[in-house]
Amino acid sequence: MTKSGSHIAAIAAFLVGLAACGGSSTPAAQTDVGVTSNSILLGNTIAQSGPAAAYGTIANAELAYFTYINNTQGGVNGRKINFKILDDGYNPANTVTLTKQLVEQDQVFAMFSGLGTQDQTAVRDYLNSKKVPQLFVATGATTFMADYGKPSTADSSIKWNYSIGWQPPYQGEARIYAKDVLANHAGAKIGVLYQNDDYGQDYLKGLKDGLGSNASMIVDSESYDVTAASTVAQLVKLKASGADTLFLFTTPGFTIPALVTVTKLGWAPAIYLNSVSNPQVYMGIAKANGAALKNVTSVGYIKDPTDPQWASDSGMQLYKTVIANCTTCNVNDGFNIYGAAVAWTMVDVLKQAGSNMTRANVVSIATSGLNETNNPFLLPGVVVKTTSSDHFPITQEQVITWNGTGWTLQGSLIDERGTIK
Amino acid sequence: MQELLQQIVSGIATGGIFASLALALVLIYNAMGLVNFAQGEMAMLATFVALALIDHGMNYWIAFPVTLVIAFAGGIAIERVVIRPVERAPILTLVIITLGLATLINGLAGFIFGYVPRAFPSPFSVQTVNILGALASYQDLGVIAVSGVVLLAIYMLLQHTTVGLTMRAAAHHPEASRLLGVHVSWMLALGWGLASAVGSVSGIMVAPILLLQPNMMQTIIIYAFAAAVLGGIESPLGAVVGGVIVGVTVNLAGVYLPFVGGDLQLAVALAIIVGVLVLKPNGLFGRPSVRRV
C-alpha cells in the first residue's frame, strides 16, 4: 500500500510538473481548501487545560508523528503535514468558536482527532454543513460511527457524512465486558456506577444489550452528575444491593476516588473498569491513594508502552522514535501511543488519496475505504476497517487484567463488528 | 438498616470535608462580613504548595505547618494587595473581586502545576474500623478529628484571647474599635490570614480523597457554603454541624428520595441554601442581627 502510494505520488508529481511547464490540457491533480503543492493543513481542538487536560498530550503525540513523517518522508506525496492544535479546555462552547476559527480563518483542509464527546457533538452539524471532514474524533461515542450518513437530529437538511470516529465504540467495549462476565462470572450480581450523560449511558446500553436475556444480572445501577463532590452514597448503595461485580462507566476524576472508596468500604467486588479510566497513570494514583485494585478487568486495543512484552517490538521502537519529536510527551503515557496510532491512520488515508486531495475523496476513503492491517501501534491483529456499509473503524479489543503494576493481556481479541446498529 | 447506617457514617465523613472549608468561610465572614468565593481556590493553591514541599523531600509533618505559615502569609498578602484598596467599597464589589480572585488563582495553579490529577499523601490509612456494623476509614475519621481540632482552636482564639476579642470587635463595631485604638484594617488582614491557613488544612485533608488538581475545591465550596449558611454563617460550631448535616442529607436524599437520585446531589445542597435563607436566615447557630432604627 505504502509502496504503490509513493509510485502514484511520483507519477502525480510528474504530471503536475508537466502541467506547470507546458500549460497543456493535462488535468492537474485535484486539491481543495487547505492544500497547496507542498503542504496540507489539519486542525484540532483538544483539552490542554481544564478538567480533562490529561488528554491534551494526545494532540502533541499526533504532531510528533506528523513531524516524523515530514522529516523522514518529506510529508505525504511531497506535501508536508501542518497541524494546528487549539485548546478548548473541554468546553463545547470553546470548541465551536475554535473550530470556526480553524475552518474560516486558518482554512484547514480537515479537522482531525478533535477530542471529547460533547465537544465534538457540538461542532458536528457545523462541520458537516460546511463539508469539512471531521475525521477520527477522539471519543468512543457510538453515534459517531452508528449514525454516519444520517440526517442531523437538529436540522434534517444536514447529513452526517463528513464525520467519523476511530477508537472502538463504548457500546462495543461494554459488550465485550458482558461476554467476559457471562464466560467467567456467570453467577455475577452486577452493580453499575455510570455518569448520567451520553457517555455513561452509551456504556450502560452496551452492557445491557450484551447481556441480553441475562440483563437481570444487573442488580443495581447508580448514576452521578459531573457536578457531584463524591460518589460515596452511590457506592454504599451498590454494595448494599448485594452486587459482587462492579462496573465503573466513569471518567478518571471520578474513577480514581471510586476505586479508593470501594476499598474504604471494605468491599472487594470484581471490578470492570472502562478503557477511558484505565491508563497506568490513573491506576498509579488510585494505588497511591489506597485503592486495593484487586480483580480489576478492562480492555485494550493499543500496545501498552509499559508492557515489557513489546520491548523489542518494531512498532514500539517506531513509537519511541516518533515520540522523541515531542519534548513534553511522557513516553510511557498510553495517550501518546494512542495519538501516534490515530495519526498513522490519518497519514494512511492521505497516502491513499494520492493526487486526488479533495475533502470529498479523503472523507470517502476514511469512512468507507479503510483497510489497515498493519498499524504498528495497535495490538497484533487489530484491523482498522470501514466499508460502504460499515463505519466502525476499530471494533476489536482484548480483555486485560491488572497485575498490580501493569495490565496483562488475556485470551485473544474479541470482535464486535456488526453487532451495533 | 445496615445500609442506612453506612450512608450516615459515610455522609458524616463527607460532611467533615465540607465542614473544614466552611470553617474558613465563617472566619472571613466574622472578620469582615464577607463571603469569600476564592476560599476554595486559595486552599487548593496552598495544597499544591504543600505537595511541592513534600515532593522536594520535606517530611509531611514539617511540610504541614510550613504550608500553614505560607498560607497565612499569603492570605494577609492578598488582603493587603487586593482587598485593602476596596475595603470601603460596597459589598457587591468585594464579592466580585473574590470571584475574580477565584478564577485567577485557578488559572494560575493550572498554569504552574497542570491539570492532571495528582496523588497526595495522607497521614491516615484507608484501613477501616467497624462502627456498629458500618465501616469508616481512618482517613475519614482523621478528617473529622482534624476539623474538630481546628474548630476548637478557632473557638479558643476568638473567645478566649485578646486578639480574638479585638478581631470580633473590629468586625462588628469598626468605628468604635478604631476610637479605642484598634488597627481595624490589620485585624481584617489577620482574619484573611487565619482563614487562608484554616482553608489550607481543609485542602490538605481533602486532597488525598478527591485528588489534587486545580478544580478540586470547585464543587466542594458549594457544599461548604450550604454548610456555613445552615450553621448560621458566623458560627464556627455551626459550620461543622452544618457540614455534617449537609453531608448526611445529600447522601440520604440521593438514596431514599427517588426523584432526587444519585445525580442531583448538588441540587440538594442548593435547596438547603435557599431553604435556610428563606425559613431561618440566621441558620441553626447564628444570632439574629439587631439593628437600631
Give the residue numbers spanning the domain of B23. 2-279
Instruction: Answer whether residue B289 is part of any domain.
Output: no
For B148, residues 6+ apart whose C-beta sits below 8 A from its C-beta are B240
CB-nearest partner of A233 from B10, B125, B219 = B10
Range with lowest mean pLDDT among A5-9, A37-41, A114-118: A5-9
Q: In this complex, do B262 and A231 lie within 8 Å of one another by their Cβ atoms?
A: yes
- Residue B76 is predicted with a pLDDT of 95
Q: What is the H or E stretch that residue A72 is in?
A: helix A57-73
Instruction: Answer whether residue A252 is part of any domain.
Output: yes
Helix/strand/coil for A151: strand
A268 CB within 8 Å of a chain B CB: no
Give me the amino acid identity at B101.
Answer: L
Helix/strand/coil for B96: helix
Lookup: cell for B105: 488563582
Give me the amino acid identity at B79.
Answer: E
Gap between the Cα atoms of B115 and B215, Å rounded = 8
- Residues A187 and A142 placed together within one structural domain of the fold: no
| CATH code at position B225 | 1.10.3470
What is the total count of domains within chain B? 1
Range with lowest mean pLDDT among A26-30, A275-279, A413-417: A26-30
- Residues A366 and A321 placed together within one structural domain of the fold: yes
The 3-state secondary structure of A196-262 reads CCHHHHHHHHHHHHHHHHHHHHEEEEEEECCCCCCCHHHHHHHHHCCCCEEEEECCHHHHHHHHHHH
CB-nearest partner of B119 from A234, A236, A288 = A288
How many angstroms separate the Cα of B111 from the Cα of each of A60, B71, B81? 17, 19, 22
Which band of pLDDT confidence, cut at 50, 70 and 90, is reported for residue A169?
A: very high
Chain segment A230-242, per-residue pLDDT in tens = 888 899 999 999 9
What is the total count of domains within chain A? 2
- Residues A163 and A179 placed together within one structural domain of the fold: no
- Partners of A54 on chain B (C-beta within 8 Å) are 115-117
With left for phi above 0 and alpha for psi between -120 and 50, is residue A362 left, alpha or beta? Answer: alpha
Query: Across the strands, what pairs with A82?
Result: A41
Indicate the length of chain A as a whole number: 421
Gap between the Cα atoms of A223 and B264, Å rounded = 9
Q: What is the H or E stretch that residue B4 is in?
A: helix B2-32
- Residues A40 and A122 placed together within one structural domain of the fold: yes
- Residues A292 and A323 placed together within one structural domain of the fold: no
Minimal CA separation from A380 to chain B, in Å = 31
* Residue from B116, B129, B218, B266 whose CB has the most chain A CBs within 10 Å, to mutate: B116
Could you list the mean pLDDT of each consecutive 10-residue stretch along chain B, which spans 293 residues? 85 88 88 86 96 94 95 95 87 90 92 83 85 84 87 87 87 85 87 92 89 88 92 88 92 81 80 87 76 60
Report which of residues B291 and A252 the model is more confident about.
A252
Cβ pair B222, A225 in contact under 8 A: no
DSSP assignment string, A311-360: TT-HHHHHHHHHHTT-TT--TT-HHHHHHHHHHHHHHHHHHHHTT---HH
- Partners of A284 on chain B (C-beta within 8 Å) are 119
Instruction: Answer whether residue A420 is part of any domain.
Output: no
Instruction: Answer whether residue B63 is part of any domain.
Output: yes
Gap between the Cα atoms of A234 and A258, Å rounded = 10
Query: Across the strands, what pairs with A35?
Result: A40
Cβ pair A382, A394 in contact under 8 A: yes
- Partners of B122 on chain A (C-beta within 8 Å) are 289-290
- Residue B28 is predicted with a pLDDT of 85
Instruction: Answer whether residue A421 is part of any domain.
Output: no
Which band of pLDDT confidence, cut at 50, 70 and 90, is reported for residue A17?
A: very low
- Partners of B254 on chain A (C-beta within 8 Å) are 233-234
Instruction: Answer whether residue B284 is part of any domain.
Output: no
Give me the amino acid identity at B39.
Answer: Q
Chain segment A52-73, per-residue pLDDT in tens = 777 899 999 999 999 999 999 9
- Residues A317 and A181 placed together within one structural domain of the fold: no
Instruction: Answer whether residue B40 is part of any domain.
Output: yes
Gap between the Cα atoms of B279 and B229, Å rounded = 12
Quote the distance between the C-alpha of residue A29 and its chain's center: 32
- Residue B236 is predicted with a pLDDT of 87
- Residues A243 and A273 placed together within one structural domain of the fold: yes
- Residue B144 is predicted with a pLDDT of 86
- Residues A174 and A43 placed together within one structural domain of the fold: no
Cβ pair B280, B245 in contact under 8 A: no
β-pairing, A190-195 with A218-224? parallel
- Residue B39 is predicted with a pLDDT of 93
Helix/strand/coil for A40: strand
- Residues A248 and A359 placed together within one structural domain of the fold: no
Average pLDDT estimate for A106-116: 96
- Partners of A252 on chain B (C-beta within 8 Å) are 117
Give the residue numbers spanning the domain of A275. 170-300+399-415
B116 CB within 8 Å of a chain A CB: yes
Gap between the Cα atoms of A349 and A164, Å rounded = 13
Which band of pLDDT confidence, cut at 50, 70 and 90, is reported for residue A409?
A: very high
- Residues A276 and A312 placed together within one structural domain of the fold: no
Instruction: Answer whether residue A112 is part of any domain.
Output: yes
Q: What is the H or E stretch that residue B241 is in?
A: helix B236-256
- Residues A184 and A37 placed together within one structural domain of the fold: no
Instruction: Answer whether residue B17 is part of any domain.
Output: yes
Burial of A352 (0-12, 13-18, 19+ CB in 10 A): buried
Helix/strand/coil for A209: helix
Mean pLDDT across chain A, nearest whole number?
A: 90
B266 CB within 8 Å of a chain A CB: yes
Gap between the Cα atoms of A371 and A387, Å rounded = 9
Chain segment A211-234, per-residue pLDDT in tens = 999 999 999 999 998 778 788 889
Gap between the Cα atoms of B159 and B177, Å rounded = 17
With left for phi above 0 and alpha for psi between -120 and 50, is residue B217 left, alpha or beta? Answer: alpha
CB-nearest partner of B7 from A49, A227, A236 = A236
How many angstroms separate the Cα of B117 from the Cα of each of A253, A275, A279, A296? 7, 17, 13, 21
- Is the model's pLDDT at A275 over the cut of 80? yes
**Which 8-state DSSP code applies to residue A393?**
S
Instruction: Answer whether residue A355 is part of any domain.
Output: yes
- Partners of A220 on chain B (C-beta within 8 Å) are none
Q: What is the H or E stretch that residue A113 is in?
A: none
Lookup: cell for B85: 484598596
A39 CB within 8 Å of a chain B CB: no
B5 CB within 8 Å of a chain A CB: no
Instruction: Answer whether residue B291 is part of any domain.
Output: no
* Residue from B220, B251, B263, B266 whose CB has the most chain A CBs within 10 Å, to mutate: B263
Q: In this complex, do B262 and A253 lie within 8 Å of one another by their Cβ atoms?
A: no
- Tell me the backbone φ, ψ of residue A39, rounded to 5 degrees: -155, 155
Gap between the Cα atoms of B22 and B20, Å rounded = 6
Helix/strand/coil for A187: coil
- Is the model's pLDDT at A5 over the cut of 70? no
CB-nearest partner of A263 from B118, B126, B266 = B126
| CATH code at position A192 | 3.40.50.2300
Lookup: cell for B7: 450512608
Nearest to B236 by CA among B149, B141, B170, B173: B149
Cβ pair A37, A91 in contact under 8 A: no
Gap between the Cα atoms of B144 and B132, Å rounded = 18
Gap between the Cα atoms of B232 and A165, Å rounded = 52
- Is the model's pLDDT at A18 over the cut of 50? no
Q: In this complex, do A256 and B266 lie within 8 Å of one another by their Cβ atoms?
A: no
- Is the model's pLDDT at A26 over the cut of 60? no
β-pairing, A39-46 with B134-137? unpaired
- Is the model's pLDDT at A10 over the cut of 80? no
A149 CB within 8 Å of a chain B CB: no
Q: What is the ipTM of this complex?
A: 0.81
β-pairing, A245-249 with A270-273? parallel
A388 CB within 8 Å of a chain B CB: no
Which band of pLDDT confidence, cut at 50, 70 and 90, is reported for residue A51?
A: low
Instruction: Answer whether residue B9 is part of any domain.
Output: yes
- Residues A293 and A324 placed together within one structural domain of the fold: no
Q: Where are the beta strands (DSSP E) in A18-151?
A: 35-36, 39-46, 80-87, 110-112, 134-137
- Is the model's pLDDT at A114 over the cut of 90? yes
- For the beta carbon of residue A17, count every other beta carbon within 10 angstroms: 10
% residues pLDDT > 90 (chain A): 75
Gap between the Cα atoms of B31 and B26, Å rounded = 9
Gap between the Cα atoms of B255 and B262, Å rounded = 7
Instruction: Answer whether residue B31 is part of any domain.
Output: yes
Give me the amino acid identity at A339.
Answer: G
